[in-house]
Amino acid sequence: MPHRPDPAELQTVLDDIATRMAGEAERGEVASYIPELARVPLNRFGMAVAPLDGPPIIAGDAEVPFSIQSISKVFALVAALGHVGASLWRRVGREPSGDPFNSIVQLEAERGKPRNPFINPGAIVVSDVILENQPDETTQHPVLDLCQRLADAPDIAVDEDVFASEVATGDRNRALAYFMLAEGNIRGDVTEVTESYFRQCSIEMSCLQLATATRFLATEGEGPDAEIAGVTPERVRRLNALMMTCGCYDASGEVAFRIGLPCKSGVGGGLVAIVPGVGAIAAWSPGLDKKGNSVLAIKAIEELAHRLNWSVF
């Protein structure tokens, strides 16, 4: 059974982990392929837990906003499934890719149907679906809107410098989108679709906001958080299954082995993990390993999950 610590015990564990992460020498490298991300100091570390039955607990830089990058793919998937339901799976698969998140090779071999919604081409199809179903440009970005409502934080915003940096350097993502257009799996305008995708990746949130915004995934699909997300119990189970199998790029198996929880990472150094029935965890440290996952965020959540017996296995 997962341990359910009281707030004081959880605070002690988080503070202890944050102190030890501050002393870690091996921190990986900050992502540099999006130039704006390379400016984030390597020494940052934050962590937050949003339990289902108590107040959020935070440690370190847990209230510092950072670029959520691929973590946005979870919120985008929730929005797209809300629009088109299970028909989404005709255009996007549900298998781990085993390839880098922006790989083109697999997409060509599989005729433009991305392996899953958490690699870039899958997320670009998801953006296309959202745009098709929510085209009104007078409203703000639907993924931003969902993040704000789930975190109950209307000040969550897009970092316009990161967005501009992604647009300027996004040729590979546009190439993925054009390839899928040629295969009939993109219906909108490639520039609009990719810019919508870049915009959601450029949303800035803190660990506290991310843990709060993903807490609905720890419920059984019921309650106020799940209502905001518009999810059913079955959808929550399936989102968690996708996060467990595909949430950490081509290291998803390794992360499942080490942490044992559904997770989603981003190249901004964020990592969220869901403890079913207990709550959501978010950790952030900008240094990445070779597969694009945050070295210290993985280490910290691994330690937390071990200490509190939170693995689902």
Residues in contact with ligand GLU by the rule CB under 6 A: 69-70, 101-102, 120, 166, 173, 201, 266-267, 292
Closest CA to 102 of 37, 30, 194: 194
Q: Which of 40, 73, 97, 143 is catalytic?
A: 73
Q: How far is the CB of 151 from ligand GLU (least distance, A)?
A: 19
219-to-22, 148, 216 alpha-carbon distances in Å? 32, 19, 5
Q: Is 58 left (phi over 0), alpha (psi -120 to 50) or beta?
A: beta
Give the active site residue among 67, 78, 249, 275.
249
CB of 11 to ligand GLU, least distance (A): 30
249 is a catalytic site residue: yes
Asked if residues 126 and 117 have their Cβ atoms less than 8 Å apart, the reply is yes
In terms of CB distance, is 165 or 240 closer to ligand GLU? 165
The smaller minimum CB distance to ligand GLU, of residues 249 and 310, is found at: 249
How far apart CA 121 and CA 73 sit, in angstroms, is 11
| Cα 120 to Cα 14: distance, rounded to the nearest angstrom | 32
User: Quick one: which H or E segment has residue 158?
Assistant: strand 157-158
Residue of 219, 231, 245 lying closest to 115 (CA atoms): 245
Can you tell me whether residue 253 is helix, strand or coil?
helix
The verdict on whether 267 is a catalytic residue reads: yes
Q: Which is nearer to ligand GLU, 56 or 117 (CB)?
A: 117
CB of 172 to ligand GLU, least distance (A): 7
DSSP letter string, 102-145: T-SHHHHHTTT--S-TTSHHHHHHHHHHHHHH---TTSPPHHHH
Structure tokens at 190: 């490639």
Q: What's the min distance (Å) between Cβ of 115 and ligand GLU?
A: 14
Q: Is 291 a catalytic residue?
A: no
One-letter identity of residue 98: G
| Residues 54, 65 contacting (CB under 8 angstroms) | no
Q: Indicate the residue among 59 and 213 with the shorter CB distance to ligand GLU.
A: 213
- Is 197 a residue of the active site? yes
Active-site hit among 13, 267, 272, 278: 267
Our answer to whether residue 125 is catalytic in this structure is: no
Q: Could you say which of 40, 97, 158, 197 is catalytic?
A: 197
Residue with smaller CB distance to ligand GLU, 118 or 216:
118
How do 46-51 and 66-67 pair as beta strands? unpaired
Smallest separation (angstroms) from ligand GLU to the CB of 212: 20
Q: What's the closest the beta carbon of residue 267 comes to ligand GLU, in angstroms?
A: 4
Specify the residue, 88 or 288, whose C-beta has the smaller distance to ligand GLU.
Answer: 288
3-state secondary structure of 264: strand
Give the catalytic positions in this structure.
70, 73, 197, 249, 267
